[in-house]
Amino acid sequence: MESTPASGRPLPRHERWIVAYAQWIVRWRWWVLLLSLLCLVALGAGARLLTFSTDYRVYFGPHNPQLLAFDEIQNVYSKNDNILLMFEPRDGDVFSPRVLEAVREFTERAWQLPFVLRVDSITNFQHTQAAGDDLAVEALLPDDAGITPERIAHIREVALAEPVLIGRLISDSGHVTAVNITSQFPPFDELTQKELPEAVAATRALRDDILDEYPEIARISMTGSNMMSNAFTEAAAGDMKSLVPAMYLMIVVITWLMLRSGSATFATFVVIILAAASAMGLAGYVGIQLTPPSAASPQIITTLAVADSIHICVTLIALMRAGRAKTDALVESMRLNFVPVLLTSITTSIGFLAVNLTDSPPLKDLANISAMGVMLAWFYSVFTLPAMLAILPLSVRRTGDSRSGALTRFLDGAGEFVVRRRTPVFWSALLISAGLTVLAFRNEGNDLFAHYFGPSITFRADSDRIAENLTGLYSMEFSLRCGDAECVSDPEYLRVLEDFTAWWREQPEVLYVGTLTDIFKKLNKSMNGDDPAFYRLPEQSDLSAQYLLLYELSLPFGLDLNNTINIDKSSSRYIVIFEHLKSKHTRAIEASARQWLETNAPEMATHGTSPAVMFAHISKRNLESNFLSLPLSLTCISLLLLPALRSWRIGAVSVVPNLLPLGAAFGVWALISGEVNFTMAIVLNMTVGIIVDNTIHFLSKYLRARRELGYAPEAAVRHSFHSVGAALVVTTLILVSGFMILSMSAFLPNSGMARLTAIGIVAALLIDLLLLPTLLLKVDRAPANAPKKELSDEALATP
């Protein structure tokens, strides 16, 4: 990673190969360009195979325990993928003829929506009541019933006293009501990813129809797991549309500012497009499905890829400025940059590849696409870029660049300051970064999936509105087993359910409890002439079983109990809906529910499960797995660097500037936010792969100054500041700009991940410039092996 002017010393063998290779590229430049375009076409064609994943389950690995528990419940009962639509009447009263008519019409037509399994609303709610000596089970507002004042009064009376409806399909004041549509999509492995968008589009069209037809309805908000899955898709697609162009614009501006050459800027831009498009194409061939995290990979590739090209262009331009002919300068730039660019690409890829030990597949996809992109960027930078630079006209003014000169002068001053005040600089840098690292552990994982989306995504606003007025999006389900077949109607079992319900209703966060006992109590009342005194659990086992049989035989298509009772009637599904809770709180309340069961009904003890529970564990699982793979990636990277550093001691020193920025970044995050999402877990490995480059650049300059130029440690530090300081600042600037653009993502976990990475990169720069040199001055006490020399301007060429 050093620019050695060809000063008579024979080139090492690998450099001779590189020179020969560079000359070959220049000679066959048109063919190289053509071949590159063919590569682009062949690889990029895979992009047509890319689809957006439409199921939030993709965030959980196949062995994720919370996912397995959740899938089991869905397989035993029925799916609960749903869309919940909240109707807000203009006059704030659901119980008016037009509003009820709208809900009834919507309910009726919703049965014809794609993939619908059942539709629940206050109008088709199967109300039981005594009819003489018989049991009448009938929709609250039957299809052909007239909406008379008497009927409305009846509906109001029943609905506002019905625990099955309140807090879920109707607010307790009756100012809003909801229709819940349950969907059944094909099994996970048979999904074509077209199902969900189709279902959502059809539901939205029906909503618009109803809104047109019934101006009495002011607004219909939509939430539910299907809308959440859909929001993931829309956020990813939206990001790709808005952020990618912004990213390219930023890259063009920065490259132009740095290179001041239209041709070089254009060539760099082409390389980035080639790398990003080829990587996405490869992702398509591999069969990766895009999610908001993996859809960020083109932006990450772009940010990282630009450095490769800039290194080569900067050296080329500097050499031409120094008077070298273009072809000569190009070959020399290739010789100087080929290995460093390769090394930094490999280390970056290692960081990404380590993410594969993580639990969440979208994060692996992001990391793998980025790793491929980084290696492709290296390939195009040493293949296509020199060919293009050889073809394009390149005019370089012979005047010195005053801007980078000013930056270099500033860094010379900084180097001087660091050497002079080494002790206070060392201790303050060490204490601040160590202090921040301690703070880092105060971050806590908090994944609230409704809050994953920025205000531009309607799912967020709709979910918040529904949470404020009616019911929560966060739920927890239990499959409560009573033992042998047919035992769900056993009074003993029902009493436990009743006690469990009483416990839940004491929890302040709980909005709704869905339990079989409410059905039994109502049945008992209806079977006893609607006498309110009988609104309690039946006391005889055979009686309650026979009530249940009668009730089941009375239910219409789609509104059966298969979603509540399993097939041999040995367990029932128990649902709790609560307010937006933090992940920590969700885990705690799940644990106390389990504790309650273990104390009061040990044979029923089970885990609560739901998307909320799954997401409550996701950041912890991913942080832990990335924490565990971090030493692995760090070891791989260090092993790769050892031959270059040729010193165990310096190798050990290099760990400090590679690791401390992570601690410092998470520490800063604890101060500004304190909450991490699952996507931030990969910041650990990803950032190590990126910031290690700075360390390599700084250390290699330092070691070369010590070993080849015979400098004392102090002079070697000044030399390193002078020769790579500006380059480090500029690369940091590029990376931070790239990640700041990514931080504008409508998918907030991406945004947080990008901001945290940017903080880590800035921290790495500061640590590389303040802590690393002072640490070297402390550790590297060996005398200079040659007399001190003054700094020369050589080596300026390589940033």
Partner 1 sequence: MKRLPRLDVTLAAALLSVLLANPAAAETPEEKGLAIAQEADRRDEGYEDSAATMQMILRNRQGEEATREIRSRALEVADDGDKSLIIFDEPKDVEGTALLTWSHKVEDDDRWLYLPALKRVKRIAGNNKSGPFMGSEFAFEDLGSQEVEKYTYQYLRDEACGDQTCFVVERYPVDKNSGYTRQVMWIDQTEYRAQKIEFYDRKKSLLKTLEFKDYAQYLDQYWRPARMDMVNHQTGKSTTLLFRDYRFRNGYSDRDFDQASLKTAR
Q: What is the DSSP letter of 569?
A: S
Q: Which of 576, 434, 459, 571 is nearest to 512 (CA)?
A: 576
Choosing from 191, 237, 543, 605, the residue that interacts with partner 1 (CB under 8 A) is 543
Work out how close the CB of 523 gets to partner 1 at its nearest, in angstroms, rounded to a whole number. 11
Q: What is the DSSP letter of 57?
A: G
Planar angle of CA 116, 120, 124, nearest 5 degrees: 120
Choosing from 93, 138, 499, 579, the residue that interacts with partner 1 (CB under 8 A) is 138
The answer to whether 659 and 369 have CB atoms below 8 angstroms apart is no
- Work out whether 135 is an interface residue with partner 1 (CB under 8 A): yes
- Work out whether 15 is an interface residue with partner 1 (CB under 8 A): no
- Work out whether 105 is an interface residue with partner 1 (CB under 8 A): no
Choosing from 391, 545, 632, 644, the residue that interacts with partner 1 (CB under 8 A) is 545
Work out how close the CB of 558 gets to partner 1 at its nearest, in angstroms, rounded to a whole number. 7
- Work out whether 253 is an interface residue with partner 1 (CB under 8 A): no
- Contact flags string 522-541 toward partner 1, x per CB under 8 A: -----x------------xx
Number of residues that bind partner 1 (CB under 8 A): 50
Distance (Å) of CA 636 to CA 338, 350, 630, 680: 21, 7, 10, 22
Interatomic CA distance for residues 249 and 317, integer angstroms? 22
Distance (Å) of CA 442 to CA 332, 435, 663, 669, 672: 50, 12, 11, 10, 12
Work out how close the CB of 140 gets to partner 1 at its nearest, in angstroms, rounded to a whole number. 14
Q: Which is nearer to partner 1, 297 or 572 (CB)?
A: 572
Q: Which of 258, 254, 298, 249 is nearest to 278 (CA)?
A: 298
Work out how close the CB of 184 gets to partner 1 at its nearest, in angstroms, rounded to a whole number. 5
Q: Which is nearer to partner 1, 202 or 391 (CB)?
A: 202
Distance (Å) of CA 241 to CA 27, 234, 246: 39, 10, 9
Q: Which is nearer to partner 1, 199 or 411 (CB)?
A: 199
Q: Which of 676, 750, 749, 751 is nearest to 446 (CA)?
A: 676
3-state secondary structure 733-785: HHHHHHHHHHCCCCEHHHHHHHHHHHHHHHHHHHHHHHHHHHHHHHHCCCCCC
Stretch that binds partner 1, among 38-46, 330-338, 426-434, 559-567 (CB under 8 A): 559-567
Choosing from 546, 582, 594, 656, the residue that interacts with partner 1 (CB under 8 A) is 546
Q: Which is nearer to partner 1, 550 or 779 (CB)?
A: 550
- Work out whether 133 is an interface residue with partner 1 (CB under 8 A): yes
The answer to whether 351 and 637 have CB atoms below 8 angstroms apart is yes
- Work out whether 137 is an interface residue with partner 1 (CB under 8 A): yes
**Where in 465-494 is the site for partner 1 (CB under 8 A)?**
485-486, 489
**Where in 165-194 is the site for partner 1 (CB under 8 A)?**
184, 187
- Work out whether 414 is an interface residue with partner 1 (CB under 8 A): no
- Work out whether 562 is an interface residue with partner 1 (CB under 8 A): yes
Choosing from 157, 492, 552, 603, the residue that interacts with partner 1 (CB under 8 A) is 552
CA-only gyration radius of the chain, Å: 33
- Work out whether 111 is an interface residue with partner 1 (CB under 8 A): yes
Interatomic CA distance for residues 766 and 728, integer angstroms? 10
Q: Which is nearer to partner 1, 113 or 419 (CB)?
A: 113
Residues near 488 by beta carbon (within 8 Å), at least 6 away in sequence: 482, 494, 516, 548, 565, 569, 570, 571, 572
Stretch that binds partner 1, among 133-141, 206-214, 332-340, 627-635 (CB under 8 A): 133-141
Binding site for partner 1 (CB under 8 A): 72, 75-76, 78-79, 111-117, 133-138, 184, 187, 485-486, 489, 527, 540-547, 549-550, 552-562, 565-569
